[in-house]
């Protein structure tokens, strides 16, 4: 499902248009305080026809996908470009915080994520990026942490890191916490990685 | 969403009927090797009208809910009845294995879960039980593990245990693994709980 090939100009333009429509939808969701706005009104605000809207977004709820895809792409890029030395937990925290403006959310962004977290059909679109993030996280961890050879040992830590992140965002957004998101992420990443380290396979001495 | 009150006789009978219809649907899914069977055929096999089917299951995919609800109820009951002393990891493994016949899956059950794991609309119905399991797991852990007072510290370990379980089942089912499910669960529970223990808050000495 992850596109590795360089997108064509047409694809890039289509993705830009989708992102523009998505941002209009988000503006309206936040202004209304709910997601009840019609496709017709979103399309009108974005300057496209309802038909164009539906060509890019089969269901109305699909309109938020470009927002979450952009965030996850930013995190994945930060992970891929991160140095292979240095503290793993701090590198992970930095990758997540890199997608936030000044390390935090604006009131509008928080209100938007609160709507997404509490509305099942939208929540699903948010959770869709978890698989892609898990894959990038697994690549990242394999280069930095002794994981062993069993498929579960190779995949579980990345999966736990991504789900711990999801849990932190849920807590932070739904409880209106004023705590520093970086501190919360640091805390849960430490828990997951301390468990991996404590139970890591004994090195065999052949470098494997 | 969790019903704590004792169900009435009518509710119990309705749930039994739903489970009977669900089991017929599972039989057909396994025999066909896919989930394409119509609601009419499931209803006929279960001896009910399509109208009765839809009264209990608004969407066709809802038909599998009673199966997953029964499994999760069995795990939750095992967790609630578990002694508060003894090895936490072994108690967790036993709770999960308690819902399997002789600690393993029959070929039919494995084939059914493979269909569920690989079909998004059914997978969602399976994942629905995770919230309820996380809640029961949190209760279980709070009585046995020093978790601290921060809401994230109180909720994260249970969430990670439930998601680690999901990851094990996904791996085990989708890779047709012949490994012992209890061994795989033991392994991931150890990883999660070792991390909780390594980063657990320093006891304050006031028993809190």
Burial of A178 (0-12, 13-18, 19+ CB in 10 A): exposed
Q: Give the model confidence (pLDDT) of A55-71 as tens digits.
A: 999 999 999 999 999 99
Output the CA–CA distances (angstroms, integers) from residue A107 to A103, A137, A204, in the order listed: 13, 29, 51
Chain B residues within an 8 Å CB radius of A192: 160, 192, 195
Nearest CA-CA distance, residue A178 and chain B, Å? 13
- How far does B116 lie from chain A, in Å, by closest CA? 17
> In terms of CATH architecture, what is A64-198?
Orthogonal Bundle (1.10)
- Contact call for residues B75 and B162 (beta carbons, < 8 A): no
B175 touches chain A (CB under 8 A): yes
Q: At what angle do helices B120-127 and B65-81 cross, to 10 degrees?
A: 30
Which ipTM did the prediction report? 0.85
Q: What is the pLDDT of residues B137-185, one digit of tens each?
A: 999 999 999 898 999 999 999 999 999 999 999 999 999 888 999 999 9
Q: What is the model's pLDDT at position A200?
A: 80
With an 8 Å Cβ cutoff, is B145 touching chain A? no
Give the model confidence (pLDDT) of A70-118 as tens digits.
999 999 999 999 999 999 999 999 999 988 877 778 889 999 999 999 9
Do B64-198 and B9-62 have the same topology in CATH?
Answer: no
For chain A, the structural domain boundaries read: 9-63, 64-198
* CATH class label, A9-63: mainly alpha
Superfamily of domain B9-62: Homeodomain-like (1.10.10.60)
- CB atoms B160 and A156 under 8 Å: no
Residues of chain A found within 8 Å of residue B196, distances taken between Cβ atoms: 191, 195
CA-only gyration radius of chain B, Å: 19
- Cβ-Cβ contacts under 8 Å, A160 against chain B: 160, 163-164, 167, 191-192
Mark yes or no for CB contact B171/A155 under 8 Å.
yes
Distance CA A188, CA B2 (A): 27
Nearest neighbour of A167 by CB, restricted to B124, B159, B195: B159
**Residues B64, B74: Cα–Cα separation, whole Å:** 16
Is the model's pLDDT at B85 over the cut of 80? yes
Residue A156 touches chain B, beta carbons under 8 Å: yes
């Amino acid at each position: 499902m992850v596109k590795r090939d360089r997108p064509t100009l047409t694809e890039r333009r289509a993705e830009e248009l989708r992102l523009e429509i998505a941002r209009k939808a988000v503006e309206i969701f936040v202004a209304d305080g709910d997601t009840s706005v019609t496709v017709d009104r979103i399309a009108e605000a974005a300057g496209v026809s309802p038909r164009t809207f539906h060509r890019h977004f089969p269901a109305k709820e699909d309109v938020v996908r470009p927002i979450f895809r952009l965030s996850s792409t930013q995190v994945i890029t930060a992970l891929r470009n991160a140095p292979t030395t240095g503290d793993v937990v701090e590198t992970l925290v930095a990758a997540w915080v890199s997608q936030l403006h000044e390390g935090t959310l604006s009131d509008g962004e928080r209100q938007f994520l609160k709507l997404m977290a509490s509305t099942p059909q939208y929540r699903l679109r948010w959770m869709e990026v978890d698989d892609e993030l898990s894959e990038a996280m697994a690549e990242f961890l394999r280069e930095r942490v002794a994981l062993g050879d069993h498929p579960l040992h190779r995949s579980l830590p990345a999966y736990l890191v991504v789900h711990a992140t999801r849990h932190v965002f849920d807590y932070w957004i739904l409880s209106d916490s004023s705590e520093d998101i970086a501190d919360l992420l640091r805390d849960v990443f430490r828990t997951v990685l301390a468990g991996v380290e404590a139970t890591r396979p004994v090195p065999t001495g052949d470098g494997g």
